[in-house]
């Protein structure tokens, strides 16, 4: 039985006062939620304050949106895995499409980050997904498989020490929405890939999320699918009411 997971990716949004106000609004809306794991990934500048604000609320975990693979050194502007652990992070997003396509991260960079995250005791939320051009060319499954293969090659992880998020690039902020059946088809493919590479236990315990313009209006459709264990939420996670509604859609028991 896989526990559902809802991860909020705030991207480059919110000041300290806005983040504190969000948490204060969110907490009462989540009372009674016990069967869904919640991870909030704010910008680096908010991590310390978010940790203080969430003190005593261990049901909400803290994640980072990115980091650099080196332990320390002359890497101006970068953050290490140890720094994220020190500030209270349990998770970190790796390989998000915006990191790949805007900032030019390559598969080798992502592999090094996964390795460093696992070594530091962080749970990577590994993102993979195809562009519209790749999907229309019939290459979607090949692209996602290659991204996963290159990111995880030669690495070992505990069964719940990894999260995979399928995020079709063509369905993020484009106005084109993926259907639940599209997401299920790809997540089923990913789960079978895990089963083949890492065995039944890993396939049955690693959470696989969908991320692509997830909203309160469509979350129930996605969560009704067999292989969708939760969501990586962007814009809708910036509003406490919307995010709470999405979290509550995740019921344990698949």
Q: Which token pair is 83?
A: 């720094």
Asked if residues 240 and 26 have their Cβ atoms less than 8 Å apart, the reply is yes
| Catalytic one of 98, 130, 167, 225 | 167
Half-sphere exposure of 212 (CA within 13 A, CB side): 29
Told to judge if 111 belongs to the known catalytic residues of this protein, a careful annotator would answer no
* DSSP H or E run through 186: helix 180-198
Return the H-helix or E-strand segment holding 145.
Answer: helix 140-152
Catalytic residue list contains 167 = yes
| Token pair for 27 | 């907490």
Instruction: Give me the catalytic one of 37, 96, 111, 225.
Output: 96
What pairs with residue 4 in β-bridges?
Answer: 36
Matching residue, tokens 């890939």 = 193
Is residue 84 within 8 A of residue 120, CB to CB? The reply is yes
What residues are labeled active site?
96, 167
């Amino acid at each position: 039985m896989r526990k559902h997971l809802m991860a909020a990716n705030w991207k480059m949004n919110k000041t300290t006062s806005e983040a504190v106000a969000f948490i204060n609004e969110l907490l009462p809306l989540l009372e009674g939620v016990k069967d869904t794991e919640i991870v909030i990934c704010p910008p680096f500048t908010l991590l310390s304050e978010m940790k203080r604000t969430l003190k005593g609320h261990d049901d909400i975990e803290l994640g980072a949106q990115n980091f650099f693979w080196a332990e320390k050194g002359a890497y101006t502007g970068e953050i290490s895995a140890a720094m994220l652990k020190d500030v209270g992070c349990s998770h970190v997003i790796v390989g998000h499409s915006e990191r790949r396509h805007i900032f030019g991260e390559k598969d080798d960079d992502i592999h090094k980050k996964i390795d460093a995250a696992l070594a530091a005791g962080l749970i990577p939320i590994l993102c993979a997904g195809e562009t519209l051009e790749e999907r229309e060319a019939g290459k979607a499954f090949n692209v996602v498989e290659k991204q996963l293969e290159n990111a995880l090659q030669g690495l070992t992880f505990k069964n719940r020490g990894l999260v995979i998020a399928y995020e079709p690039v063509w369905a993020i902020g484009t106005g084109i929405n993926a259907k639940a059946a599209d997401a299920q088809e790809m997540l089923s493919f990913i789960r079978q890939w895990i089963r083949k590479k890492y065995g039944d236990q890993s396939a049955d315990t690693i959470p696989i999320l969908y991320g692509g313009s997830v909203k309160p209006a469509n979350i129930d459709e996605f969560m009704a699918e067999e292989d969708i264990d939760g969501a990586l939420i962007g814009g809708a996670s910036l509003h406490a009411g919307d995010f709470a509604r999405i979290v509550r859609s995740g019921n344990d028991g698949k």
